[in-house]
Amino acid sequence: MPHDSHDHDHGAHALLPPDPALRVRALETLLARKGFVDPAAMDAILDFYENRIGPRIGATVVARAWTDPDFRAALREDSTAALAAEGLLGRQGEHMVVVENTPEVHNVVVCTLCSCYPWPLLGIPPSWYKSDAYRARVVREPRKVLSEFGLTLPEAQSVRVWDSTAEIRYLVLPMRPEGTEGLGAEALADWVTRNAMIGTGLPERPQ
Amino acid sequence: MTRVHDMGGRYGDGAVDPAPDEPMFHAPWHRRAMALTLAAGAIGRWNIDAMRHAREAVAPQDYARFSYYEKWLAGVADMAVGRGMVTRAELAAAGDAAIGDQAGGEAGGEAGTAPPEFGPADPRALRPADVETILRRGSPSTRPGAAPTFTPGDRVRTRLPARNLAVDGGHTRLPAYAAGHLGRVLRHHGAHVLPDSNAHFLGEAPEPLYAVAFDAAEIWGSAERAGDEVVLDLWESYLVPAEHSE
């Protein structure tokens, strides 16, 4: 059986300076000078994720699912196709499954092996999602971890933790809160927090 | 046989800090590290499975002490060398130059803050005008492939141990905590590129991919509450029919 070559040539990164800011600078300068990375393209990437992508997109999807039965049915039937029709797929969200919370089941999403996350719908993942503590613990003791977010689930609800081990990205469709019956999709989207779409929170009345 | 990244179920990590008001990036270099990783990846010299494996393959003590974007940087540096884009000597020289620039900057100059010079463009280098198109397109992992052996409701058992069957110590997406357990197929996702092969540039080798649900008590010995479940996406070669192993 061949051995993993990474174990023999890994450590090239150790040739870079100890200060990570200088490490980035050195790598960016080298890859730019060699024509592999255009620093202006890096700026465009940052503009995209800092200014045009974020959890508001996911919140809009959730609010529409609450108010548009056909859209909800389409998400249930094939989330990827339903979101593709809206132009809402993309890098790290090429294949989507929307999982619905019910009075019987509460869904929580994690990636124990790295930090897979639905970027096109939620943006850049928060630190806690990438932390060792979340990755290690939420599969084994989800209720304890949720309590650290201030969320206590009723005994009647089972927990289903989705470990994102492949290229399928999961978005939690929370239950529509009571007291929002008169609201339209636009106003409802304000209730949908990022954490509610990961499963570590519930929709909240906007501040 | 496991690697340090395979931490699902591990004890001892302490409480999760929800940090509700954190900024998107905690330091300017985090921004550059994220963008550099995506821009360098767009060249196509590696794939996402190979990059994940490069991050996982850093020494365990580095993995534990590196912050998130430091792991990304290590992956880019190791891949750039491993895939022949830069030499170790060039990497070391670039590091020395960055240190020198910083020293010059501290002495009052502007060195080290101007955008780096972009050399003669590689034909596959990502250009600013194409960024949005590329990011919105992504890289779908579905491929034409074999029909699924299992159907929703089937009882399956995961392979034990969790390991790459073709490359000793190689990449796999079967977490150790889920190896050797009985589960039930929830859904078939179609045929997807197999990371165990693709990470090592051995071909995409697409296989049927399934969401498989496991009873929490089956995996952990006891559950916080009876009926709680863990669901993983698992390729067909990670699974055997349950009756074959009982």
CATH number of the domain where residue B207 is located? 2.30.30.50
In chain B, how many domains are there? Answer: 2
Task: Find, among B177, B229, B163, B226, the residue nearest to A135 by Cα.
Answer: B177
Q: Is residue B127 domain-shared with residue B32, that is, in the same domain?
A: yes
In chain A, how many domains are there? Answer: 2
Residue A67 lies in a domain: yes
pLDDT level of residue B75 (50, 70, 90 thresholds): very high
The residue count of chain A comes to 207
**Residue B21 contacts A where some CB pair is shorter than 8 Å:** no
- In this prediction, residue A123 carries a pLDDT of 98
Do B5 and B56 touch, CB atoms closer than 8 A? yes
Q: What amino acid is encoded at B221 in this protein?
A: G
Beta carbons of A6 and B53 less than 8 Å apart: yes
Of all residues in chain B, the one with the smallest CA distance to A24 is B33
Q: Is residue A33 domain-shared with residue A113, that is, in the same domain?
A: no
The first and second tokens of residue B5, run together, are: 């990244």
Distance (Å) from the C-alpha of residue B203 to the closest C-alpha of chain A?
15
Q: Is residue A24 domain-shared with residue A100, that is, in the same domain?
A: no
Instruction: Render pLDDT for B193-226 as a digit per residue (tens, 0 to 9).
Output: 999 999 999 999 999 999 999 999 999 999 999 9
Q: Judging by DSSP bridges, how do beta strands A95-100 and A168-173 pair with one another? A: parallel
Q: Is residue B110 domain-shared with residue B38, that is, in the same domain?
A: yes
pLDDT, averaged across chain A: 96
Give the best residue of B228, B237, B239 to mutate against chain A (max A CB count within 10 A).
Answer: B228
CA separation for the pair A1, A25 (Å, rounded): 39
> How many contacts, defined by CB atoms under 8 Å, are there between A and B?
368
Of the three residues B78, B107, B137, the one that is the final residue of a domain is B137
Q: Is the pLDDT of residue A128 over 60?
A: yes
Residue A2 lies in a domain: no
Beta carbons of A115 and B175 less than 8 Å apart: no
Beta carbons of A36 and B122 less than 8 Å apart: yes
DSSP per-residue letters across chain A: --B-THHHHTTGGGGS-SSHHHHHHHHHHHHHHTTSB-HHHHHHHHHIIIII-SHHHHHHHHHHHHH-HHHHHHHHHHHHHHHHTTT--BTTBSEEEEEE--SSEEEEEE-SSS----HHHH-SPPHHHHSHHHHHHTTT-HHHHHHHTT----TT-EEEEEE--SSEEEEEEPPPPTT-TT--HHHHHTT--HHHHHTSS------
Q: What is the CATH number of the domain that holds A194?
A: 3.90.330.10
**Which residues are registered as beta bridge partners of B209?**
B190, B235
**Residue A187 contacts B where some CB pair is shorter than 8 Å:** no
Q: Is residue A116 domain-shared with residue A181, that is, in the same domain?
A: yes
Residue A206 lies in a domain: no
Q: Is residue A43 domain-shared with residue A137, that is, in the same domain?
A: no
Residue A109 lies in a domain: yes
Whether the upstream peptide bond of residue A69 has omega within 30° of 0, thus cis, is no
The rounded radius of gyration (Å) of the Cα atoms in chain A is 20
Of all residues in chain B, the one with the smallest CA distance to A169 is B233
Do A138 and B18 touch, CB atoms closer than 8 A? no
User: Average pLDDT in the B98-119 region?
Assistant: 76
Q: Judging by DSSP bridges, how do beta strands A105-110 and A158-163 pair with one another? A: parallel
Query: Which of the pair, B243 or B38, is modelled with greater confidence?
Result: B38
Q: What is the CATH number of the domain that holds B51?
A: 1.10.472.20
- In this prediction, residue A10 carries a pLDDT of 59
Q: Is residue A33 domain-shared with residue A96, that is, in the same domain?
A: no
**Which residues are registered as beta bridge partners of A170?**
A97
Q: Is residue A102 domain-shared with residue A115, that is, in the same domain?
A: yes
**Residue B90 belongs to domain spanning:** 28-137
CA separation for the pair B223, B182 (Å, rounded): 15
Q: Is residue B160 domain-shared with residue B101, that is, in the same domain?
A: no
Q: Is residue A112 domain-shared with residue A193, that is, in the same domain?
A: yes
Of the three residues A8, A27, A51, the one that is the final residue of a domain is A51
Q: Is the pLDDT of residue B28 over 70?
A: yes
Q: How many CB atoms are located within 10 Å of the residue A144 CB? A: 13
Residue B144 lies in a domain: no
The first and second tokens of residue B172, run together, are: 């796999």
The first and second tokens of residue B92, run together, are: 């070391």
Q: Is the pLDDT of residue B82 over 60?
A: yes
- In this prediction, residue B246 carries a pLDDT of 45
Q: Is residue B186 domain-shared with residue B230, that is, in the same domain?
A: yes
The first and second tokens of residue B78, run together, are: 């190791």
Residue A6 lies in a domain: no
The first and second tokens of residue B63, run together, are: 């993995």
pLDDT level of residue B245 (50, 70, 90 thresholds): very low
Q: Is residue A46 domain-shared with residue A101, that is, in the same domain?
A: no
Taking contacts as CB-CB distances below 8 angstroms, the residues of chain A near B74 are: 13
User: Average pLDDT in the A68-84 region?
Assistant: 98
User: Average pLDDT in the A192-200 region?
Assistant: 98
In chain B, positions 115-154, which contact chain A (CB-CB < 8 Å)?
115-122, 125-128, 130-132, 134-142
**Residue A42 belongs to domain spanning:** 17-51
Instruction: Render pLDDT for B187-201 as a digit per residue (tens, 0 to 9).
Output: 999 999 999 999 999
**Residue A56 contacts B where some CB pair is shorter than 8 Å:** no
Distance (Å) from the C-alpha of residue A185 to the closest C-alpha of chain B?
24
CA separation for the pair B199, B173 (Å, rounded): 11
Residue B56 lies in a domain: yes
Q: Which of A143-157, B46-60, B109-123 has the lowest mean pLDDT?
A: B109-123
Q: Is residue A60 domain-shared with residue A115, that is, in the same domain?
A: yes
Beta carbons of B209 and A144 less than 8 Å apart: no
Do B198 and B50 touch, CB atoms closer than 8 A? yes
CA separation for the pair A146, A116 (Å, rounded): 19
How does B11-34 read in b/e, with b if 16+ C-beta sit within 10 Å? eeeeebebeeeeeebeeebbbbbb
ipTM of the complex: 0.95
Q: Is residue A40 domain-shared with residue A99, that is, in the same domain?
A: no
Instruction: Render pLDDT for A146-189 as a digit per residue (tens, 0 to 9).
Output: 999 999 999 999 999 999 999 999 999 999 999 999 999 999 99
Beta carbons of A22 and B98 less than 8 Å apart: yes
Nearest to B168 among A1, A42, A112 (CB): A1
Do A23 and B95 touch, CB atoms closer than 8 A? yes
CA separation for the pair B138, A96 (Å, rounded): 13
Residue B6 lies in a domain: no
